[in-house]
Structure formats: C-alpha cells, structure tokens
Amino acid sequence: MNRLFSGIKVGPFELAHRVVLAPLTRMRTEEGNVPGDLMVDYYTQRASSGGLLISDATAVSPLGIAYVDAPGIYTEEQMRGWKRVIDAVHSKGARIFLQMWHAGRQAHPGNTGGHWPVAPSALRSFEHAAIRDEKGDIVEAQLVVPRALDTEEIRAIVEQFRHGAELAKQAGFDGVELHGANGYLFEQFLLDGTNKRNDEYGGTVTNRARFLFDTLDAVVSVWGPGRVALRLSPSGTYGTMSDSDPHATFGYVAQRLNDYALAYLHVIEPRIRGIVEQATRETDVTSKDMSRIYRGTVIAAGGFTGESAEQIIADGHADLVAFGRMFISNPDLPHRLRKGLPLTPYDRSTFYGGDRRGYTDYAPNPLTTA
Ligand SMILES: Cc1cc2nc3c(=O)[nH]c(=O)nc-3n(C[C@H](O)[C@H](O)[C@H](O)COP(=O)(O)O)c2cc1C
C-alpha cells in the first residue's frame, strides 16, 4: 500500500496519510451535551496515528439533536468540553474537524426539551430516535410528524450554524464539516421527496439547495477558505429519503461547490445506508460521479477495506478514505492498515451510548507499537 500512506495537503494542513476517522455518533457526552473525559480518551486514542479526525455529529441547537447524549456546539460549556478534546488530539499530532449537524425531522421531542421537531415540510421519517425513558434507559422512539419551518425560521437556523462555527473556532477545531448526509436537515431540504415548499427554499433544485448554500456562506464567512467541508450521501435512503433525480440534484451541488475553496467534499458510497450495507441501484450517485464534477479534494466513505481504499485513490475518484466501524474497534487503524495487521471486529451493541465498554477499551494491536 503506497497511496493511502502518502502525504496530502487538506486545506492548509499537511497530513502524513489518507486514512480519516469518519464522523461517528457515540452518545457519550456528559450533562448538557458536553464532551467530557471519556470523549477526550476516545479521540486521543484515535489521534495516535496522526491524520484527520472528524467529530461526532454535533448539534447547533437543542432542536438539532436526534440521539440522547450526542454533543452540541451552542453553549460555552460545550465549547470548553470540545477544547479539551481538541488539545488532546493536537498533542498527538492529528487534526480534527467538527461535524456540524441539525437533525430536522429526525429529532425527537424527548431530546429537544419538548420543542417540536422542524423540517422543510410536515412529512414524517419512519426511522427511530434514541431517547432516555423514565427509568433512565436508552430506548428507541418513533419519530413524529415535524412542523414545517416558516421562512424566517430557516434564516434563524442559518444563524445557529454561524454561531456554532464561531464557537468551533474559539474551541480550536482545525475546521468544520457540514453534515449534509444521512437524511438530516440539509438533505431534507435538498431532496424533492422531503421538500414540498413553495417559497424560495423549495421547488427547483436551486431553491432546494438554498438553505445549504446560505449556511455554507455563513460558515465560510467565519472560517475563511480551506477550513470548511461538506458531507453528502447522494444515494443514501436513511431517514426515509428519496429524490426523483439524484444525478441532477447532486450534480448541481457538486458543480456549485467548485465556487467554494472547501477543505474537502466527503461522499458516502451508495453501498451504505446510514450504518448498514444496502443493495446498489442503477441510479446511484458515487464518489466517482461526484469527483468528475467537483474539482477539489474528495474523501470517500462507506464499506472500505485497506485494499479498496488504495484502489479508489489509485483510480483517482477520491483523495482520502474515511473509515467508521473499523475505526471504532481499531483505535490504531492507520497503523494496522499500513502494516497489514489483523483487525479487531466491532460490537454493534456498544455503538450507541453507555460507558467505556466498546468505546475506549479496544486495545491497540501490540505489534503496532513495537
Ligand atoms: C455508530 C455509528 C455512528 C455514526 N454516526 C455518524 C455521524 O454522526 N455522522 C455521519 O455523518 N455519519 C455517521 N455514521 C456513518 C459513518 O460515518 C460511515 O459513513 C458509515 O459507518 C460507513 O462507513 P464504514 O463502512 O467505514 O463503517 C455513523 C456510523 C456508525 C457505525
């Protein structure tokens, strides 16, 4: 393997390799959706091989939270919690971007302080949220029919992203990635299956993309060039998502992104639906399709092995590759891939919520530190 372990420049940053930690919701914050010691340990372990880490999806407001104990970036306490994570990551020589998130209709009143979830249109998702019941146990809960946002409220959410971007900068992140994937608010606006609006945020693809690009403009105004990124899942169906013409929709977005000096565009391959494998379809939009239109740096994600990661870089369809599930159970994944060492299998039952089990107790391979 050569290409995966060759250096690359992302924005202003020189990275020693191209193995990226994918954004992973692990639901392990402390009171107030604040990152604490457990998260400091988790990220420190995964920073030990250098490279680029992307944070858990992090909400810009209480209404942005789909899963109990997910982190936020709307209070000073959250900002300070993240600062401790970032300082630890930097001390290991790695870089970290914050994934900024608004769940839209994927949020649940049980996690939002009773506020009713919002979306472009009052259409329901048939996925589940994770909430805490009266006994304190984490349980799955059916989503509700969201309330359609009025035009002024959409502008207010753009401002929440701007505020989150300012706090992220204050905390010391190296950059921010907008979570435009997996059926959350940006995607709910972008796809015509979930956006039935007839104001300037609905209808044509230009209108459906307006919320995304308005937010991108706001966040770039805080961070400047090379420090803002976007994640998309052009063929994802997670969140009961659909679009009548994904190639046209995502082609439009990819083309317009050429006007932005982004750090990178992060594309999830069609073979993954949220966190599970799905059958691929003729109409799928891949990172290969996106990289033909988008001229900047591309990170591909979704079901990669060391070999397929090497291949997609060799083929020129991506510049870096993000790993999710395998980075959960292999905190030193880049070392293991580089040396061809065996990988520890992951345990799904400890993905979401809980303590250090399945979080910070996956041991590094003893051979990698020798
Ligand atoms: C436990 C878990 C949590 C995830 N949370 C997020 C998230 O917060 N944001 C996001 O964009 N993707 C999230 N994903 C998707 C991953 O980033 C990645 O796209 C997916 O796991 C496929 O990559 P893999 O095959 O390498 O695991 C999550 C996946 C898992 C397994």
Nearest CA to ligand 1 atom 10: 23
Residue 317: give its domain's CATH number.
3.20.20.70
Q: Which residues line ligand 1 (CB under 6 A)?
A: 22-25, 56-57, 99, 179, 181-182, 231, 268, 272, 275, 301-304, 323-326, 351
Q: What residues pair up with 232 in beta bridges, in sequence order?
A: 180, 267
Which atom of ligand 1 approaches the CA of 322 most closely? Answer: 26
Nearest CA to ligand 1 atom 19: 302
Nearest CA to ligand 1 atom 16: 324
Q: How much distance in Å is there from the Cα of 242 to the middle of ligand 1? A: 20
Which pLDDT does position 363 carry in this prediction? Answer: 82
Pairwise CA distance, residues 133 & 343, whole Å:
36
Write the CB contacts of 79 (distance below 8 Å, at least 6 apart in sequence).
73, 167, 168, 170, 171
Grade residue 368 by pLDDT with cuts at 50, 70 and 90. Answer: low
Nearest CA to ligand 1 atom 18: 324
Task: Give me the mean pLDDT over the 31-49 stretch.
Answer: 97
Q: Is the pLDDT of residue 124 over 60?
A: yes
H-run or E-run covering 67: none
Write the CB contacts of 44 (distance below 8 Å, at least 6 apart in sequence).
88, 89, 91, 92
DSSP labels for 174-229?
SEEEEEE-TTSHHHHHHSTTT----STTSSSHHHHTHHHHHHHHHHHHHH-TTSEE
Grade residue 283 by pLDDT with cuts at 50, 70 and 90. Answer: confident
Q: How much distance in Å is there from the Cα of 282 to the middle of ligand 1? A: 24
Q: What is the DSSP letter of 94?
A: -
Asked if 264 contacts 217 with a C-beta cutoff of 8 angstroms, the reply is no
Q: What residues pair up with 177 in beta bridges, in sequence order?
A: 99, 229
Nearest CA to ligand 1 atom 22: 302
Q: What residues pair up with 109 in beta bridges, in sequence order?
A: none
For the chain, the 3-state helix, strand and coil shares in percent, each to the nearest 5, are 35, 20, 45
Q: Is the pLDDT of residue 370 over 50?
A: no
Q: How much distance in Å is there from the Cα of 276 to the middle of ligand 1? A: 9
Please write the tens of the pLDDT for every residue from 178-216. Answer: 999 999 999 999 999 999 999 999 999 999 999 999 999
Find the largest Cα–Cα distance for the chain: 62
Q: What residues pair up with 321 in beta bridges, in sequence order?
A: 19, 300
Q: What residues pair up with 201 in beta bridges, in sequence order?
A: none
Neighbour tally for 152: CB within 10 Å: 7
Please write the tens of the pLDDT for every residue from 319-363. Answer: 999 999 999 999 999 999 999 999 999 999 999 999 999 999 998
The whole domain housing 120 covers: 3-369
DSSP labels for 282-297?
TT---HHHHHHH--S-
Q: Give the catalytic positions in this structure.
A: 184
Higher pLDDT, 274 or 36: 36
- Number of domains composing the chain: 1
Q: How much distance in Å is there from the Cα of 262 to the middle of ligand 1? A: 21
Q: How much distance in Å is there from the Cα of 23 to the middle of ligand 1? A: 6
- The reply to whether the predicted model has a pTM over 0.95 is yes
Grade residue 366 by pLDDT with cuts at 50, 70 and 90. Answer: low
Nearest to 174 by CA among 99, 233, 103: 99
Pairwise CA distance, residues 266 & 61, whole Å:
23
